[in-house]
Homo-oligomer: A and B are copies of this chain.
Amino acid sequence: MPIITLTSDMGTSGYYVGSVKAAILSKIPSATIVDITHHIRPFHISSAAFVIRNAYNQFPQGTVHMVSVDALNNRSPRFLLLQADGHYFIGADNGLFSLALIKQPDKVFEIAFAPNSPVATFPARDVFAPVACHLLQGGQPDAVGKQVTDYLRPTAWQPTYDANSITAVILYIDEYGNCICNLDSTLFAQIAKGRAFVIDVKGYAIDSISRAYSDHPQGEIVALFSSSGMLELAMNHGNMAELIGLKEGDMVKINFA
């Protein structure tokens, strides 16, 4: 039976996550539920998208990913089921999945539910969990609602560049203070053309790409293309974001010689 993953901003100090799992296990006692995280910053769609983007395709094909972040974003919340890349995604129509998915979704369905039903405060338990169970039990995706094409598709922040420079931003700061930027190695190589370069972040300069954090002595700043495939700025055995005072959204400039 496929896996269900949970990603949310619910935290783990209340009854919310337990209630969602109860809703799933009441229908499917043998379900395999994997928490990706419940510590997305409240309402922070782009952080959630980054986490989903890096986690989802590690799971087997057919996995159902429930994402409850900013799910009640407007007066008439609209909930979606997406089929994409061999996976299912359930969440609100708030643009999150367009930022998270590597490929365009194959099909998008609007989840039908009675507009006056008491779902208005807890869609993860009352809407997403039943849809996830439907899919796990072999139900067809088109049974949950009509196919739509008019869902929200925000444009992800893309790095800007010219012949001799790239300007990226910090997308995400992890538990270690490592700063992951919206720049992959393909674009970097395309502009770099093998030239020397300086990565400038808040006045600190990095002039090489490392293979591992430990290529430099402890406490030194390192740039590498990490397990997420994106440019990561880190400090070997230190918390780079804290020490230099970086936050998500900060700019990183790369100049090529």
Contact = CB atoms under 8 A, between A and B. Distances in A.
Interface of A: 1, 3, 5, 9-19, 21-23, 25-26, 29-30, 32, 34-40, 42-43, 50-52, 54-55, 58-60, 70, 72-75, 77, 118, 120-122, 125-126, 172, 174-176, 211-215, 224, 226-228, 232, 237, 239
Copies of this chain per assembly? 3
Contacts of A239: 42
B16 A174 contact: yes
B59 A22 contact: yes
A214 B72 contact: yes
Contacts of A23: 58
B54 A213 contact: no
A37 to B, nearest CB: 5
Given A13-B37, A25-B60, A121-B212, 9 more contacts: A12-B39, A14-B37, A16-B174, A16-B175, A18-B58, A25-B34, A73-B214, A75-B212, A121-B213
Given A74-B214, A75-B212, A122-B227, A51 B15 contact: yes
A101 to B, nearest CB: 14
6 contacts: A11-B175, A13-B37, A18-B58, A21-B34, A22-B34, A29-B60
A199 to B, nearest CB: 17
A100 to B, nearest CB: 11
A109 to B, nearest CB: 22
Contacts of A58: 18-19, 22-23, 26, 125
A72 B5 CA distance: 28
A175 B121 contact: no
A15 B54 contact: yes
A134 to B, nearest CB: 18
A50 B18 CA distance: 13
